[in-house]
Amino acid sequence: MKVLAVLLLCVAVYAKHEQYAGWKSYYVGPKSQEQQQFIGSLVEEYELDFLSHAIIEQEGVVLVKPEHQDGFIKALEEKGIAYRIHAADVKAALDFDDAAIETRRRENLARNGIELPYDNYQEIEVIDAYLADVARRYPDRATLVTGGNSFEGRPINYLRISTTNFEDESKPVIFIDGGIHAREWISPPTVTWAIHKLLENVTEPDLLERFDWILLPVVNPDGYKFTFTNTRFWRKTRSTDQTSISTSCPGVDGNRNYDYFWNTVGTSNNACSDTFAGSTAFSEVETRVVRSILHEHLNRLALYLTMHSHGSMILYPWGNDGSLSNNALALHVVGVAMADAIAELSLPNFRRYVVGNSMLVIGYATSGDSEDYAHYIGVPLSYTVELPGLSSGLNGFHLDPIYIEQVCRETWEGIVAGARRAGDLFVSLAHRN
């Protein structure tokens, strides 16, 4: 009986990533803006899936389907663009990741603390249970809100954290979300870590006194669930009501679904594409939940951060055309302050953060992302944070779970620096008005 159970487990694990048989992934390192743009121009033709952006300072990682290997490599070689293999067998690398995660899960089974553990990636049910539990334990400061239900009916939960029950209108609000892109597993824990630091382990009490907080760890719970159960590299939502082919190609890229130059650049009209913008702006209930929060607190929202992975980048508007907003100086200065604070605590084998305009840093334009939308409606400081990833060699595709807590700790330092700067700027703005 026991043998059978073990056998079944192995079969379940190893049958899992069949859909990636024959796929390879590559590091790609453009040396010039021209090369960077050329790489961008190949995305559609070869159905490239970049797990991290290829920029001049650092290589990106791209997934390539079996049928496009030859064409893709030929195109790179013709332009003399440097590349090297990241995973020669994507399915094997994912199986390897699973084994590492499973080993850690078994090691940690005995531990059953109340606090959310940071030694592994957590399923959506565990995150939701934590949010409910921590809200119950800190009723004077934290309120659990279900902003809506996802396409498949899962609650989209967030915490409101305030020492004054959100009633002090003079306090700036800080809003952090994560998990809009389902596969970016390091994103939700950085948001729950902020909850931990504001409720369970308060070492910066000023942040609690000065600000009201909204922390939404998983914007896209359906997609997140699907990356655990079915398709590790799923990025989109799971809606099936967008086009006539959405039942066979579900989902919308949530970070192309916001109503700022929606579907004008860096998006796809093909429902099967990973950057499908949806049938209309805000077609997705998940992005509508974020929109509601942004608008509800707009008059005092000082800072909005949306957590993505990976690439170690802090990016600010405008992503659709590379132009700078009239708040660009503050965006840059506060972005650099966050990156410097992160660097203080970072590890030598982590990349230094790059700070800059979204389009200028990643080399191509994207439209309809939440960073641009939040800034467009009036949030003075709005950033996409591309968290670190260590996807080298045998580490496979996950940031090794041993680094989750490190990333959470250093990212929190960035949030602390960003919040304090945002608070100072907010006060000076309020006085001017």
Ligand X SMILES: *[C@@H]1O[C@H](CO)[C@@H](O)[C@H](O)[C@H]1NC(C)=O
The residues of the shown chain that bind ligand X, judged by CB under 6 A, are: 201-203
Closest contact distance (angstroms) between CB of 427 and Zn ion is 32
Nearer to ligand X, 208 or 330 (CB): 208
Cβ atoms of residues 191 and 122 within 8 Å? no
Active site residue 386: yes
Up-side HSE of residue 274: CA atoms within 13 Å toward CB? 17
Closest contact distance (angstroms) between CB of 405 and ligand X is 9
Helix (H, G, I), strand (E, B) or coil at 275: coil
Which of the stretches 106-114, 135-143, 177-185, 401-409 binds Zn ion when contact is defined by CB under 5 A? 177-185
Residue written as token pair 């309020």: 430
Nearer to Zn ion, 255 or 357 (CB): 255
- Identified catalytic residue from 184, 286, 386, 410: 386
Nearer to ligand X, 118 or 318 (CB): 118
Question: Which 8-state DSSP code applies to residue 29?
Answer: E
Closest contact distance (angstroms) between CB of 309 and Zn ion is 7
The answer to whether the Cα torsion of 139, 141, 147, 151 is positive or negative is negative
165's CB contacts (< 8 A; 6+ apart) are none
308 makes contact, choosing from ligand X, Zn ion, none, with CB < 5 to 8 Å by partner type, with Zn ion
CA distance 85 to 68: 15
CA distance 200 to 193: 10
Nearer to ligand X, 203 or 433 (CB): 203
Convert residues 288-327 into a mask of x (bound to Zn ion by CB under 5 A) and - (unbound).
Answer: --------------------x-------------------
Strand pairing partners for 305? Answer: 176, 383
201 makes contact, choosing from ligand X, Zn ion, none, with CB < 5 to 8 Å by partner type, with ligand X
Q: By CB under 5 A, is residue 181 in contact with Zn ion? A: yes
Question: Which 8-state DSSP code applies to residue 353?
Answer: P
Nearer to ligand X, 89 or 405 (CB): 405
212 makes contact, choosing from ligand X, Zn ion, none, with CB < 5 to 8 Å by partner type, with none
351's CB contacts (< 8 A; 6+ apart) are 58, 311, 312, 388
Residue written as token pair 């490599």: 73
141 makes contact, choosing from Zn ion, ligand X, none, with CB < 5 to 8 Å by partner type, with none
Length of the chain: 433
Residues annotated as catalytic (active site), given as ranges: 386
Q: Name the site residues for Zn ion (rule: CB under 5 A).
A: 181, 184, 308
